[in-house]
Structure 1
Amino acid sequence: MDTGSDVIWIKCLQSSNVFNPAESSSCSYYSCDSLSCNDLGASGNTCGGRDFREPCYYIGEYVDGSTTRGTISHDKFAFEGSERELVDVGHLDFGCSNYSSWEFVGNQTNRIHFGSEKQSSHTAWCCQTPFDQEEKAYYYVTLNEISIGDQDVPLPDGIFSMISDGEGGFVIDSGTTYTFLRSEAYDALIEALGEAIDLPQRRGPSEWYELCFEGSFEDLDSAAPDLKFIFDGAEVILMKQTTYIEAEKGLWCLAMVRSNEELSILGNMQQQNYFVGYDLEQEVSFAPVDCATF
């Protein structure tokens, strides 16, 4: 479930197919002259200069460099409900992928609720932050500050603001694994963390892991102050389990990476152990929860 992408897609003509369109009597593809194809924009399809009757091929590119492509299609969809019943949602447009640049390994299940009310009476929604209503491509929010314990990270003024040409800004995205921060903000964060955590430090085995600490998780848990993202109207405290990842035995690396763009993203690892609620016209809400209990 990806809140940061225009196209939903499933594997069709690849290894480990999820879906074979030839076996569905209700599935068909869109042609290049269709509204669904045009909605992708010139950069999202390959129809330029081709016969308008040919299939519309979509192109999906992600921040981490991975890609997917295939035909824009439509078919009947149903999802499993809370009582394991099938919930029919009618026809949906989707990408029937014949290529993706990576393989998914080990799917995890989670819950998603749709409706006009926030779900679950035991959910303590701690805080809400408004969406930037002027931008509809992504779910933009305003990140004002990052703190480590009781100390603010010295970030450049306006580092997470959208700039005049539409670049930059801060997005919440369930489909990006790690949080991406603009280089200036990332440099300030890792310098501040390095000073705050009294453990041996070195770079990790991947170029993404620029700050790592040697020791057990217990060592890290006791030495590392809480990391907090401070939005307009919302303060989200990140657990140590969602801030650091064990890149190799006894080496705990910051699970946030440097963005090569001016856009910054709150990724799904840092959203773990929170219910995240989207009021699509207004705000996103957060509620701390122990996901291990589900």
Structure 2
Amino acid sequence: MLNLKVSSQTSQTLDMMEPLREVRDGYIISLNLGSPPQVIQVYMDTGSDLTWVPCGNFSFNCIDCQEYTNYSPIMNKYLPLHSSSCVRDSCASQFCIDVHSSDNTYDPCYIAGCSLTTLIKGICSRPCPSFVYTYGEGVVSGTLTRDTLRVHGGADGDVTREVTNFGFGCVGSTYREPIGITGFGKGSLSLPSQLGFIQKGFSHCFLAFKFANNPNISSPLVVGDLAISSKEHLQFTPMLENPMYPNYYYIGLEGITLGTGSGSLIQVPTKLRDFDPSGNGGMLIDSGTTYTHLPQPFYSQLLSKLESTINYPRATEVEARTGFDLCFRVPCINNITDGLAIMDVDDHLFPSITFHFMNNVSLVLPQGNSFYAMGPPRNSTVVKCLLFHSMDDEDYGPAGVFGSFQQQNVEVVYDMENQRIGFQTMDCVSSSAFQQLHKP
């Protein structure tokens, strides 16, 4: 459940501390919705605004979701009929207008079939029309719903805050989206906005991949004053303002260095820090995208530089099978045969990768955030692949995406008050233990 702590500065300020459970391709929050409460597990996503949950009193239909069958233990549904506080949102609400803002120029109440008289007077109370919300590869369709969201915390777990009329999508049909999402974007529908924290900020520290599906430890997520207080020692890069897409978090990438010291600096295209008149460009920082994506031809240039500095044989058959573009067979250290142990001890065999963001911010990716083992060692070698991707459509949308895998073991602070994002490499396991997010 969401943990809420009272700030020592003022009894009116509440700070939320939330344990994030890691799965293979993202980080899961447990939402406590309804009366009586229903616990629904959803992804935490900084790249969208809408919070939605799999919903249906009888069925939930997920199309083309066969590859997600391993997630069946966390694919729980919200049942509207089981909650006495559940209501369908009105077509005249601001949330309804916002969720339909990208559909067309029509008034949602007009779409809902309200009469001209009620439209002119602004008194139509018909339900908000069904919406469709798209992601990179997925689509969801549902109805805008309101219910009570309960957040708990305090030293003894006795602090309870009820967020009444919390707005979210009650989704009954999806394409390639089997698990719900909690949006952490800047829009009015996002969780920080509805809790009143969007003018403050939040921070997270993602655990490494090797802790995926480990029920005994969680990644810390902090929302509110505690997330941004005493953080001046971090390196901060400005949030770039994109007038066409104001609800997303953009930062500017200026270069990438391979190796330590002066290294080999690769200049990146200016579109990774600039926007065109249509709002295309910039680098999106997104917890809902697993791997960092870079534009062509810069991405291919990076691959060539890396390949020239690594003297291990390519594993082209693994590249063809996995879809990753740069895989190598590297020797096991001390003949280690444990597939998990090998992930930590041989990362020095690859050159370090440093991202240079605007405002002289240099983030050296932690060991293990670039190359990752594709399986256990065989014949004293293990195959490791670069977990970066090329942007599919570099002329539309963001020029690049800074994904969650590259944010592992990095404290990332979204300082909304000062419109900046901070970075600090950190052992997120220790941070989780300090914030008592280990499961007893």
Structure 2 matches for 1:77-226, cutoff 5 A? 77-81=149-153, 83=155, 84-85=157-158, 87-91=160-164, 92-100=166-174, 101-103=176-178, 106=213, 109-118=218-227, 125-135=233-243, 136-149=246-259, 150-203=263-316, 204-206=319-321, 208-215=323-330, 216=332, 217=343, 221-226=347-352
Structure 2 matches for 1:34-45, cutoff 5 A? 34-43=93-102
The alignment status of 1:25 with 2:84, answered yes or no, reads yes
Residue 172 and residue 49 in structure 1: after superposition, are their counterparts in 2 closer, same or farther (change >3 A)? same
Residue 79 and residue 54 in structure 1: after superposition, are their counterparts in 2 closer, same or farther (change >3 A)? closer
Instruction: Using the TM superposition, name which of 262-271 and 158-167 deviates more.
Output: 158-167
Do 1:124 and 1:287's aligned partners in 2 also have CA atoms closer than 8 Å?
no
Instruction: Using the TM superposition, name which of 105-114 and 173-182 deviates more.
Output: 105-114
Quote the residue 2:203 is aligned against.
none
Cα distance between partner residues in 2 of 1:116 and 1:146:
32
Moved over 6 A (4+): 45-48
Q: How does the TM-score come out when normalised to structure 2?
A: 0.59
Q: Secondary structure at the match of 1:236?
A: strand
Post-superposition shift, 1:178?
1.1
Please state which structure has a larger fraction of its residues in helix.
2
Q: Report the RMSD for the aligned CA atoms in angstroms.
A: 2.9
Post-superposition shift, 1:270?
0.9
Cα distance between partner residues in 2 of 1:186 and 1:82:
47
Cα distance between partner residues in 2 of 1:82 and 1:160:
41
The residue type equivalent to 1:5 in the other structure is S
Post-superposition shift, 1:26?
1.2
Do 2:313 and 2:328's aligned partners in 1 also have CA atoms closer than 8 Å?
yes
Post-superposition shift, 1:268?
1.0
User: Cα deviation per residue 1:119-163 (whole Å; 9 max; x = unaligned)?
Assistant: 687x78430011113442211111111111111124344444222
Post-superposition shift, 1:209?
0.8
The residue type equivalent to 1:177 in the other structure is T
Q: How does the TM-score come out when normalised to structure 1?
A: 0.86
2:362 pairs, out of 235, 239, 244, with 235
User: Cα deviation per residue 1:93-131 (whole Å; 9 max; x = unaligned)?
Assistant: 11122233244594873222222354687x784300111
User: Cα deviation per residue 1:29-68 (whole Å; 9 max; x = unaligned)?
Assistant: 22444321211245359968553535432323222x1232
Do 1:130 and 1:283's aligned partners in 2 also have CA atoms closer than 8 Å?
yes
Q: Percent of aligned positions with the same letter in both sequences?
A: 29
User: Cα deviation per residue 1:189-217 (whole Å; 9 max; x = unaligned)?
Assistant: 21211112221124425564111112244
Structure 2, unmatched stretches of 5+, are 1-43, 62-74, 115-125, 180-211, 333-342, 377-381, 433-440
Post-superposition shift, 1:229?
0.8
Quote the residue 2:196 is aligned against.
none
Structure 1, unmatched stretches of 5+, are none
Do 2:219 and 2:429's aligned partners in 1 also have CA atoms closer than 8 Å?
no
Structure 2 matches for 1:250-265, cutoff 5 A? 250-262=382-394, 263=398, 264-265=400-401
User: Cα deviation per residue 1:229-271 (whole Å; 9 max; x = unaligned)?
Assistant: 1111321111231222323342211111111133211111111
Structure index of larger Rg: 2
The alignment status of 1:76 with 2:173, answered yes or no, reads no
Do 1:12 and 1:96's aligned partners in 2 also have CA atoms closer than 8 Å?
yes
Instruction: Using the TM superposition, name which of 84-93 and 193-202 deviates more.
Output: 84-93
The residue type equivalent to 2:425 in the other structure is P
Do 1:199 and 1:223's aligned partners in 2 also have CA atoms closer than 8 Å?
no
Instruction: Using the TM superposition, name which of 4-13 and 39-48 deviates more.
Output: 39-48
Quote the residue 1:11 is aligned against.
54
Residue 245 and residue 95 in structure 1: after superposition, are their counterparts in 2 closer, same or farther (change >3 A)? farther
Quote the residue 1:270 is aligned against.
406
Cα distance between partner residues in 2 of 1:82 and 1:195:
54
Do 1:113 and 1:119's aligned partners in 2 also have CA atoms closer than 8 Å?
no
Quote the residue 1:67 is aligned against.
139
Residue 178 and residue 187 in structure 1: after superposition, are their counterparts in 2 closer, same or farther (change >3 A)? same
Residue 31 and residue 74 in structure 1: after superposition, are their counterparts in 2 closer, same or farther (change >3 A)? same
The residue type equivalent to 1:111 in the other structure is P
